[in-house]
Amino acid sequence: MLSDTSKQRVEWGIVALVAMITLILLPWFNTFSEDSALYVSSFQLRVWGKYLCFAVLAMSLNLLWGYTGLLCLGQNLFFALGGYALGMHMMLMIGPDPVYNSPLPDFMDFQGYADLPAHWVPFESFPFAAFAIIWVPGLLAFIFGFLAFRSRIKGVYFSILTQALTYAACSLFFRNEFTFGGNNGFTDFKTLLGADLRSEATTRTIFMCSAVLMIGVYLFIGWLLKTKFGKVQQAVRDSENRVRFSGYSTTSFKLFIFTLCGIIAALAGALYVPQVGAINPSLMRTSYGLDIVVWVAVGGRGTKYGPVIGAILVNLLQSYCTRHFADYWMIILGALFLIVVLFMPNGIVGLPAQFRALREKWTKRQNETIEPATETP
């Protein structure tokens, strides 16, 4: 068994290794010639950047579910809202359409809009769009959380309510008259802050921003859990009534964490969109919210790096299965979740401890069977 100091050294070593790979090696390999064996294409870099955003999304749910005991089935809603906020700015930066000869987004030209809707106008400014990535999902999370936690809604009822909220938002965004592109959403982005999104330099920069966000969120969660706030937060998960009787306002703690996790998910969604090149309401579908739960469960709920491992591994598995076993992916995902629930309650991260406990149990049983045979009359 490693001591706490040794565990911290190992953890910091892993963080340093991940930082070196994501911030130095992969972007550097992207600058090699295509004939080089170490060359990493822009497409591969965007795919891995997308996985890093998924890892941040999984960490946001884990902070809420694993450390606070609140299972949110609508974390993808905040992820999508962050993407839509930045996507609105990028849509306005595309320029005049060659067919309609209009500066309006294509779907607005098609629907017969003559002027830009009033709520779109501020998004011509990047600072406003960047701030909207934070305040739009943050405000929604605050209002919903305030109403839910004030009414003492928790457990499965809270999960159902978050799923209902996501379903309602998804249905709303699918409507063409809602002015957010309807079923097709936003696509065909050209630039971000004047940089060509198709250039390798821009791809490297956004990938590195995703890596910085993932590492930053990881370090922030690690710091938060060591504070008094983090201790109370975990106590709320273990026994909310006891915390309330101790004089703490559990409603305030849960509301702060729920709002914070919504903002973290939105930041991940904002970096996800320019790397994928599109966003539509399918990101808000309720089944996608359940996928995030699977990522966290597979990696290890209530651990700092388990959700990162789970999000990346499950999405790698999905990428492989959709190419070779497309018709069976949902069955494979369901089977994976059942295996985790039945045999891996602590996820992949908990496997070493499980194997160690089994080995100790086996050794103890062996000693109990050997001792009677060695006794002398």
- The closest alpha carbon to 84, from 146, 129, 20, belongs to 129
pTM: 0.92
> Which pLDDT belongs to residue 218?
95
DSSP-based three-state secondary structure for 299: helix
DSSP-based three-state secondary structure for 66: coil
Tokens of 213: 């966000």
Backbone dihedral region of 64: left (phi > 0), alpha (psi from -120 to 50 degrees) or beta?
Answer: alpha
d(Cα 348, Cα 339) in Å, to the nearest integer? 11
Q: Mean pLDDT in each 10-residue stretch from start to end of the chain (377 residues)? A: 72 87 88 84 92 96 93 94 95 80 82 86 94 95 94 91 94 91 90 90 94 95 92 90 89 94 96 94 91 93 91 92 84 87 86 84 80 53
DSSP state string for 134-191 = HHHHHHHHHHHHHHHHHTT--THHHHHHHHHHHHHHHHHHTSGGGSS-TTT-EE---E
> Which pLDDT belongs to residue 39?
87
d(Cα 22, Cα 3) in Å, to the nearest integer? 29
Tokens of 245: 């009787």
d(Cα 104, Cα 96) in Å, to the nearest integer? 7
> Which pLDDT belongs to residue 1?
57
Distance of CA 127 to the CA centre of its chain: 23
